[in-house]
Amino acid sequence: MKKILVTREIPDAGMELLQEFETTVLSEEPPAREELLGAAEGASGVLCTLTEQIDEEFFEAAGDNLKVVANMAVGYDNIDLEAAGRRGVVVTNTPGVLDETTADTTFMLLLAAARRLGEAERIVRGGRWKAWGPKMLLGPDVWGKRLGIIGMGRIGRAVARRARGFGMRILYHSRSAKPHAEKEFGAIRLDLDQLLIHSDFISIHTPLTPETHHLIGERELKLMKSTAVLVNTSRGPVVDEAALAKALADRHIFAAGLDVYEEEPKVHPGLLELENVVLVPHIGSASFETRDKMARMAAENLRAVLAGERPPNPVR
């Protein structure tokens, strides 16, 4: 019986597809590095998440039996693809299934940051609400404003669909033109600087690559309107957190909403001190339905490779 390592507890929808294997499941929390490497020994397949670094050291620990690493995520920057390629290990991901749910989270953060939801709830829970006031907790309208989308992929387009329901005008920055998005949403393609200058709300949907690391830094933040709201549900290192904390503290921009961070689960201490940023713990795809689909897709990818078949979602 082939040995399978599942690095985190996943929904039953995925585990049910792995019953034919000798499966080891580590824990709900991210495993310690030593535990991860020890459990990998002799595995034919690994179903992992973004919290595990699957690198040369991991492949060495796993040994020659390893045939597939199935990432339960769209992104795969936690996996050394070159090291996998040298060893003939197939890497897969779970694209498509979380687009709409992540777009929901994006719009949740956009609205919460604009209308100061976090501040408002803390006032109520803290017993500090004394009376309604005409100037209390004012924030910008969302409807009818300009939304700048950085990365007009599947999630970016899903966000644009929601924005159209709010009568927003869509600007976007992408490596290539997106004629379908331009036709469907009336979206206008701009270079990054122009998008930052003209947008009221900015939502990031790019993968993490060497080119997109700190794509939004001090210079870019200074280009934004003082009334702008920045939302990031892509990857934490796309935004320079220290620069963002300073921009928010100095009121260079109005607010931000973050689901991802540079060094998860650590958050820059400057952000934790601020009222004008909404912080959530990487819950972009955290709906019952979507997490079931992700677990099932990862398990299907793993099973296909171990059956000698092409997986539905190969990265390489």
**153: in domain:** yes
For residues 154 and 223, state if they share a domain: yes
Same domain? For 184 and 221 the reply is yes
114 and 218 both lie in a single domain: yes
* pLDDT higher than 90, residue 316: no
Q: Is residue 314 part of a domain?
A: no
pLDDT confidence of residue 54: 98
pLDDT at 3: 98
Question: 33 and 181: one domain?
Answer: no
Q: How confident is the model at residue 169 (pLDDT cuts 50, 70, 90)?
A: very high
pLDDT band at 296 (very low <50, low <70, confident <90, very high): very high
Annotated catalytic residue within 57, 184, 264, 300:
264
SS3 assignment for the chain: CCEEEEEECCCHHHHHHHCCCEEEEEECCCCCHHHHHHHHCCCCEEEECCCCCECHHHHHHHCCCCCEEEECCCCCCCECHHHHHHHCCEEECCCCCCHHHHHHHHHHHHHHHHCCHHHHHHHHHCCCCCCCCCCCCCCCCCCCCEEEEECCCHHHHHHHHHHHHCCCEEEEECCCCCHHHHHHHCCEECCHHHHHHHCCEEEECCCCCCCCCCCECHHHHHHCCCCCEEEECCCHHHECHHHHHHHHHCCCCCEEEECCCCECCECCHHHHCCCCEEECCCCCCCCHHHHHHHHHHHHHHHHHHHCCCCCCCECC
Q: Exactly one of 164, 189, 198, 282 is catalytic; name it.
A: 282
- The count of structural domains within the chain is 2
pLDDT at residue 288, rounded to an integer: 98
Give yes or no: 235 in active site: yes
* Statement to judge: residues 273 and 198 lie in one domain: yes
Residues 149 and 216 placed together within one structural domain of the fold: yes
Domain carrying residue 183: 99-279
Instruction: Tell me which of 8, 235, 252, 303 is the catalytic residue.
Output: 235
Does the pLDDT at position 105 exceed 80?
yes
CATH of the domain at 13: 3.40.50.720
The pLDDT, as a whole number, for residue 147 is: 98
163 and 269, same domain (yes or no): yes
Tell me whether residue 46 is in a domain: yes
Is 311 within a domain?
no
86 part of the active site: no
Find the mean pLDDT for residues 118-123.
Answer: 97
Residues 93 and 106 reside in one and the same domain: no
127 lies in the same domain as 174:
yes
* Stated pTM of the model: 0.92
Mean pLDDT of 145-149: 98
pLDDT digits over 240-268, tens only?
999 999 999 999 999 999 999 999 999 99
189 is catalytic: no
pLDDT for residue 62: 98
